[in-house]
Amino acid sequence: MKIRRLSAVARKEFIHVVRDWRSLFLALAIPIILILIYGYALTLDLRDVPTSIWDQSKTSVSRELLSLFNGSAYFSITGYCNSYREVQQELDRGRAMIAIVIPSDFAQSVKGGRDVAIQVVADGSDANTSRLAMGYATSVGQIFSTSVVAQQLSIQGRGDLLDPDGKLAQPLELVQRSWYNPDLRSQNVLVPGIIALVMIVVAAMLTSVTIAREWETGTMEQLISTPLRGVELIIGKVLPYFIIGMADVAIAVAMGKWIFNVPIVGNAGLLFAMSALFLTGALFFGMTLSITLKSQVLASQIAIVAGFLPTLILSGFVFAIENMPLPIQLITYLVPGRYFIAILRGIYLKGIGLEILWVDALFLAIYTLIMVTWAHKRFKFKLE
C-alpha cells in the first residue's frame, strides 16, 4: 500500500465532499439537529401533571389534602369538576392527566379515624407517564395520611410516638440517593446515546454512496486503469468521512456540555478513542453496502434502516434491554450501538475506564474488524 496513492484518493474524495456542499452541510448539521430534537423533545422526566379535582366533600379537611397537590412541584390543578362526566371530558380533551375524586364523607371518616378511599383516575393512553403520575399521587396521599395519624395521636395524648417536630416517628428512615446522576435528569442519560445515533446516521449517509457513485457515473473504470490498488481506494475514500465524523462527535460533545449541561466525568481522550473505533466500523458498514448494492439510493436507504433503527430501538438508548423479551435481548448482542452506548454512559456518568469497559470495547473492536474485513472481501477492483 502506497501512502502517496492513498493520499491522492483521500484528497480527491475530500474535494468531492467540499464541492457537494449540500451533503457536507447535512453531515455537519445532522448532529446539531438530532441533539436539539432528542435533547429537548425526548425526555423521560415528568415535571408537570395537569390535574382535575372533583371535591365532593368541600371541607377544610379536603382542602388540606388538595393544598398538598397544589403546593407540589409536580402537580398543577387545571380545573374542578362536579361529575364523572366532566372528569371524563377533562381526560378526553387532554386538559388533565389525572383526576382526584374525593368522596362526600371524606372529612367525617378522617376525623372519625376510619379508612377512606380517594379515587385517582389517570389517562392510561400513555402508560409510562400515567404510571409516574400515579406514583406521585400515591406519595402525596401517604404524606397526608401520615399527617392525619400524627394529629390523632397528639389528640389522644400519645406524644411518645411523635418526634420533636410533632410528626409521626418512623422506626425506619429510608434515605434515597442516586449515584452518577443525582438529579435523575434524563438528558444526562440521553445525550451520550445521541452521539451514537449521530455517528451511525452520518456514516451511513456518507459512505453508503461512495463506491456506488463511482460505478453509476462511470469513473470506476478510470480508477481501475490506474496503478491504484483496491485497499488504497477503500481506505482513501473513508478517510475524509472519518474526519467529518470525528468533527461531528466534537460538535455533539460540545453541545451536550454547553446546552444541556452534561459534562464528561471520565476520560475525554478515551471517549474520542472509542468513538473513533465505532465510527470506523460504521463507515466500513456503509462502504460494504455501497460495494455490494452499487446503487446510491438503495445503499443509502438500507444503511439508514439497518444502522439507525437498531441503534435507536435495540441498543438501550431509550428502552431498557432488561425489559425486552428474551429473544429480543439476544438480538441486541448483534447491535454494535449497545456496546458503544454502554461505553459512552460509563465514561460520561460514572467516569470509569477500560478496566471495567474492556468487554464492551472488545466487542466493539470485533465489530469494526468484521466490517473492515467484509468491505475488503466484497470489493472487486476489476471490471466484471
What CATH number corresponds to the domain at position 150?
Answer: 3.40.1710.10
Residues 314, 338 contacting (CB under 8 angstroms): yes
Same domain, 199 and 98: no
Q: Determine, yes or no, domain membership for 176.
A: no
CA distance 117 to 94: 25
The pTM of the whole model exceeds 0.75: yes
Q: Determine, yes or no, domain membership for 175.
A: no
Helical residues (DSSP H) of the chain, grouped into ranges: 3-19, 21-41, 60-71, 84-92, 106-111, 127-155, 186-207, 210-217, 220-224, 230-258, 268-293, 296-303, 309-313, 326-332, 336-345, 354-378
Of 166 and 127, the structure prediction assigns the larger pLDDT to 127
pLDDT tier, 113 (very low <50, low <70, confident <90, very high otherwise): confident
CA distance 356 to 270: 13
Q: Determine, yes or no, domain membership for 180.
A: no
The 10 Å CB-count burial string (b at 16+, else e) for 141-170 is beebbebbebeebeeeeeeeebeeeeebee
Same domain, 29 and 108: no
Strand partners, 106: none
DSSP letter for each residue of 66-113: HHHHHHSSSEEEEEE-SSHHHHHHHHHTTS-SEEEEE-TTHHHHHHTT
Same domain, 233 and 153: no
CA distance 43 to 180: 18
Same domain, 31 and 54: no
CA distance 371 to 248: 21
Torsion (CA) 199, 202, 203, 209 in degrees, nearest 10: 170
Residue 305: per-residue pLDDT = 80
Q: Is the pLDDT of residue 26 over 70?
A: yes
Same domain, 211 and 349: yes
Of 371 and 31, the structure prediction assigns the larger pLDDT to 371
Same domain, 155 and 192: no
Same domain, 34 and 53: no
Same domain, 18 and 97: no
Q: Determine, yes or no, domain membership for 204.
A: yes
Residue at which a domain ends, from 109, 126, 161: 161
Residue 94: per-residue pLDDT = 85
Residue 269: per-residue pLDDT = 92
DSSP letter for each residue of 287-322: HHHHHHH--HHHHHHHHIIIIIHHHHHSSSSSS-GG
Residue at which a domain ends, from 129, 161, 193: 161
Same domain, 206 and 283: yes
Q: Determine, yes or no, domain membership for 231.
A: yes
Angstrom distances, CA of residue 278 to CA of 5, 140, 340:
26, 46, 7
Same domain, 250 and 206: yes
Residue at which a domain ends, from 161, 194, 212: 161
Q: Is the pLDDT of residue 148 over 60?
A: yes
CA distance 349 to 187: 11
pLDDT digits (tens, 9 = 90+) for 349-369: 888 989 999 999 999 999 999
CA distance 44 to 126: 12
Q: Is the pLDDT of residue 313 over 70?
A: yes
Residues 154, 162 contacting (CB under 8 angstroms): yes
Residues 276, 246 contacting (CB under 8 angstroms): yes
Structural domain including 63 reads: 49-161
pLDDT digits (tens, 9 = 90+) for 37-85: 877 777 767 778 899 999 998 888 888 888 888 888 888 888 899 998 9
Closest CA to 275 of 366, 195, 186, 219: 195
Residue 160: per-residue pLDDT = 47
CA end-to-end span of the chain, whole Å?
24
Cell numbers found for residue 318:
431509550
Would you tell me the crossing angle of helices 210-217 and 230-258 to the nearest 10 degrees?
130
Closest CA to 98 of 82, 114, 74: 74
Q: Determine, yes or no, domain membership for 178.
A: no
Average pLDDT, the chain: 80
Tally of domains in the chain: 2
Q: Determine, yes or no, domain membership for 283.
A: yes
Of 2 and 273, the structure prediction assigns the larger pLDDT to 273
CA distance 310 to 162: 55
Same domain, 137 and 157: yes
Same domain, 226 and 324: yes
Q: Determine, yes or no, domain membership for 179.
A: no
Residue 275: per-residue pLDDT = 93
Under DSSP, the state recorded for 161 is G
